[in-house]
Amino acid sequence: MAMKWVSKEFVEKNERRLLLAIMGLALLLRLLFSFHFGNELIWYDEHNYHSIAESILRGDGFYSTYDPPWTTHWPPLQGYVLAGIYAIFGSEPRVGRIFQDVYGLIILLLIFLIGKKLFSVRIALIGALVFAVHPVFIYVSNTLYSETLFTTLLLTTFYSLMRAIELKRWPYFAVSGVLLGLAMLARPVAIFVLPAIFLWLLVKNRFLYTVTMFALILIMASVTISPWIYYNYAKYGKVFFITQEGAHSLAAANHPLLKKKAAEKQPQDHELVQKLRTAEEDERNKLYYKLALSYILNHPLDFMKNYLTRFVKFWRVYPDTLSQNRDVNARNKLISALFYIPFLVLAFIGMFQNIGDWRKIAGLYLFVLFFALGYSFFSPSIRYRLPVEPYLILFLAAAAENIFLRKRL
Q: What's the burial of 18, exposed, middle or buried (CB within 10 Å: 0-12/13-18/19+)?
A: buried
> Quick one: angle between helices 44-58 and 77-89, nearest 10?
60
The values of phi and psi at residue 337, to 5°, are -65, -40
Q: Could you give the CA distance from residue 347 to residue 361 in angstroms, rounded to a whole number?
A: 14
H-helix or E-strand spanning residue 168: none
- Check: CB of residue 131 under 8 Å from CB of residue 386: no
Collapse the DSSP code of 283 into the 3-class scheme (helix H, G, I; strand E, B; otherwise coil) and give the result: helix
Predicted pLDDT at 248: 83
- Check: CB of residue 165 under 8 Å from CB of residue 205: yes
Q: Could you give the CA distance from residue 217 to residue 219 in angstroms, rounded to a whole number?
A: 5
* Per-residue CA distances from 406 to 72, 316, 351 (Å): 52, 30, 17
Q: What's the burial of 378, exposed, middle or buried (CB within 10 Å: 0-12/13-18/19+)?
A: buried
What's the 3-state SS for 39-61?
CCCCCHHHHHHHHHHHHHHHCCC
Q: Could you give the CA distance from residue 66 to residue 62 in angstroms, rounded to a whole number?
A: 12
Alpha-carbon 346 to chain mean position: 21
Per-residue pLDDT of the chain (409 residues; tens, 9 = 90+): 456 667 778 888 899 999 999 999 999 999 999 988 888 898 989 999 999 999 999 998 898 888 666 678 899 999 999 999 999 999 999 999 999 999 999 999 999 999 999 999 999 999 999 999 999 999 999 999 999 999 999 999 999 999 999 999 999 999 999 999 999 999 999 999 999 999 999 999 999 999 999 999 999 999 999 999 999 999 888 888 888 888 888 888 888 877 655 444 454 546 766 777 677 777 888 888 888 898 899 999 999 999 999 999 999 999 877 677 888 888 999 999 999 999 999 999 999 999 999 999 999 999 999 999 999 999 888 999 999 999 999 999 999 999 987 755 5
What's the 3-state SS for 271-282?
HHHHHHHHCCHH
- Check: CB of residue 61 under 8 Å from CB of residue 55: yes
Percent of the chain predicted with pLDDT > 90:
69
* Per-residue CA distances from 145 to 117, 215, 299 (Å): 30, 31, 34
- Check: CB of residue 388 under 8 Å from CB of residue 114: no
CA Rg value for the chain: 22
- Check: CB of residue 19 under 8 Å from CB of residue 125: yes
Predicted pLDDT at 263: 47
Q: Which residues contact 226 (CB under 8 A, 6 or more apart)?
A: none
- From the list 32, 22, 40, 45, the residue with the least C-alpha distance to 322 is 45
Q: Could you give the CA distance from residue 84 to residue 245 in angstroms, rounded to a whole number?
A: 24
- From the list 190, 165, 166, the residue with the least C-alpha distance to 179 is 190
Q: What pTM was estimated for this model as a whole?
A: 0.93
Q: Could you give the CA distance from residue 71 to residue 237 in angstroms, rounded to a whole number?
A: 14
Predicted pLDDT at 1: 47
For the segment 195-239, what is each residue's pLDDT rounded down to a tens digit? 999 999 999 999 999 999 999 999 999 999 999 999 999 988 888
Predicted pLDDT at 247: 83
Collapse the DSSP code of 358 into the 3-class scheme (helix H, G, I; strand E, B; otherwise coil) and give the result: coil
- From the list 206, 197, 286, 305, the residue with the least C-alpha distance to 240 is 286
- Check: CB of residue 366 under 8 Å from CB of residue 200: yes
283: left (phi over 0), alpha (psi -120 to 50) or beta: alpha
- Check: CB of residue 150 under 8 Å from CB of residue 42: no
The DSSP-derived string for 361-381 is THHHHHHHHHHHHHHTTS---
